[in-house]
Chains A and B, each alone.
Chain A
Amino acid sequence: MRVLIMAKEGEQSAAATPPTPEAMAEYQKFNEELVKAGVVLEAGRLYPSSQGKRVRFDGKKRTVTDGPFAETKELVAGYWLWQVRSIDEALEWLKRAPYEGGTFEVREVFEFEGM
């Protein structure tokens, strides 16, 4: 199965302190391990929400709002798409990630409809 991991690390504003080189190295090591295990299909980080837009649908009406968005704790800062055999396997991997804070949401991707 595929799972989408959404990293809700809080707002990544330009003013926030950049990660230390040690933290970066730790993260890269973890990511490399995932890649070597054939788990990672896709990964990406997002620009701060100040550069984002929202489009709201209401019947025929579309409303575009500019960032930044208020609900900082819910903002996705990065994502992974993983190929795993179960949610449990994804959790086992995720718990090893070298993060000190934030919430990571694990969601299964809907596949093979009708099968």
Chain B
Amino acid sequence: MIWRIESARLVAGLARVVGDIGTAEELAQDALVAALEQWPAEGVPERPGAWLMGTAKHRAYDLIRRRKTLDRKHEEIGRSFEWAQEGIDLETPIDEEVGDDLLSLIFTACHPVLSKDARVALTLRIVGGLTTEEIARAFLVPVSTISQRIVRAKRTLTEARVRFEVPGGAERIARLASVLEVIYLIFNEGYSATAGNDLVRPALCEEALRLGRILAELAPEEPEVHGLVALMEIQASRLRARVGPSGEPVLLLDQDRSRWDRLLIRRGLGALDRAESLGGALGPYALQAAIAACHARATTAAETDWLRIVALYDAVAQLAPSPVIELNRAVAVGMAFGPAAGLDLVDALVAEPSLMWYHLLPAVRGDLLRKLGRFEEARAEFERAASLTENVPERELLQRRVAEWAAEPIAG
């Protein structure tokens, strides 16, 4: 458990010294091994974090001295000499500057030079302190896949000479977007598991939320960080209401709202306020959070402010037009202005190539058709949707809905 608490700070502090996170992680692990050997006999030091950092920095210093000797042989003395001297500071208390180091670590692990999968794995490993086994279990892939992904990611960072730093200026905006994307990918894999037998994997949502909350403390001036945190908190507030007694999915409007987590809603609305007061009301995450907040504020499904949701989707669509957003907007329009208006919008998306294999398109279309009394077409759409999803409980829900109409075809 020491590792879980200390690893990110440790690796971050060491990476500032040695320049790359692969070496930093090895040094941190060596220090942990030393701790596990010494602490049982000598007692846990008063400040375990400082002890680990001190031990690891001594090793880093040895390492740099060895590198320096090697460099000297290669007649490249000057630069790394200075580097070693300015980098090592064993006296500074570890609490200083740790924030910036941690932020650098997050930015590095989420560097756009890496594939999305690599960013996700590296972030969970290095920033979240998860073991390779835990990550593999969470994503239902073999351990070897994750460990290779992490090894390759570290190598890519070294080869691309990615600097260990908090980027500034225009680069910061793009890099921050990558960080937010990674955290939200982790959250979504937990929130709507794309494969396997579980509908949700709360542990991944919790990891993502924790990363988001940490980031919000490290970069409190960034409105979109609060926007993302707000979105995740509000979505996570529904986790236990989204799954029925036998593991089946429960759609938003059918959920028992008394099971929504009021604490997370309150935290989410608070984070949304912060995003908006920092001038970030129109950021993509803040907008999605504002939509989620419309549902969170409605005591019953019937009280949902669909007009506001349509307006918010309009804003999202202007900012980042995408067929998936259009589909969501169509649902809101269907609720605000009737199923026929919604269906018009969905029909325009049927030819969209990127939605060809997206199961929610036929699911939404089927729902609108059903409301319009066109049951035969609705059934065909639900059957298609069921054939397109790899998530077992979701497929069963779709199949069940078809079966229910088969039993009483006129009920609607």
Chain A positions near chain B (C-beta within 8 angstroms):
35-39, 41-42, 81, 83, 85-86, 88-89, 91-93, 96, 111-115
Contact = CB atoms under 8 A, between A and B. Distances in A.
A112 B1 contact: no
A95 to B, nearest CB: 8
B5 A93 contact: yes
B5 A37 contact: yes
Contacts of B355: none
B47 to A, nearest CB: 8
Chain B interface residue bracket vs A: 20 to 34
A35 B217 contact: yes
A57 B213 CA distance: 40
A89 B214 contact: no
Q: Is the interface of B mostly helix, strand, loop or mixed?
A: helix
Interface of B: 1-2, 4-5, 48, 99, 202-203, 206, 209-214, 217-218, 239-240, 243, 245, 247, 263, 267
Contacts of A85: 4, 203, 206
A70 B210 CA distance: 40
Given A112-B202, A115-B243, A37 B1 contact: no
B144 to A, nearest CB: 24
B5 A89 contact: yes
Contacts of A93: 5
A65 to B, nearest CB: 29
B4 A89 contact: yes
B1 A114 contact: no
Contacts of A88: 1
B274 to A, nearest CB: 14
A37 B66 CA distance: 34
Contacts of A37: 5, 214
B240 A113 contact: yes
Contacts of B243: 114-115
B1 A86 contact: yes
Contacts of A81: 263
